[in-house]
Homo-oligomer: A and B are copies of this chain.
Amino acid sequence: MADSLDLVNRDPNSLNDHLKVQFEDVFGEPEGARSIDCVWKLSYTCFNCWLGLCYKLATLFYGICIAAEWGCEFAMIAFYHIWYITPMLRVCEINCAVFKKLMETCMGCCLTPCCEACGGFFIYFKK
């Protein structure tokens, strides 16, 4: 079932591109303020270690359950949308189409003549 899963590029739809959590995205020393090389290196290593460790542990403990929960949630959402909301929207559209025709007829006989008469104001713009 997991055959089609791409393990390298895990965000093909760029859902979480705003999450910039790499060391270079968080820390940066400008000219003039330089820590000792080994301190900078160790900070880099520590940051990455703890980031990886915490994230991996959190996903290990909760990730699979959360994915299962979202699976149920989205199944319900899909069910309601497909079997209730979309048909209801179709009913709504059908009624609105009739109402639109009625509105167009009423507007066409009440408002359009007035507006076109007032349009005479711009008679010299005629080409």
Contact = CB atoms under 8 A, between A and B. Distances in A.
B11 A29 contact: yes
A68 to B, nearest CB: 4
B125 A117 contact: no
A19 B94 contact: yes
Contacts of A85: 98
Chain A interface secondary structure, helix, strand, loop or mixed?
A: helix
Contact of A35 (B63, B77, B122): B63
A126 to B, nearest CB: 5
Contact of A63 (B24, B43, B49): B43
A70 to B, nearest CB: 5
29 contacts: A12-B28, A16-B86, A20-B32, A21-B77, A25-B90, A26-B70, A27-B70, A39-B60, A39-B63, A42-B63, A47-B71, A49-B71, A50-B75, A51-B71, A51-B74, A54-B75, A54-B79, A55-B78, A58-B75, A58-B79, A62-B83, A99-B110, A103-B114, A104-B113, A111-B114, A115-B117, A116-B121, A119-B122, A127-B127
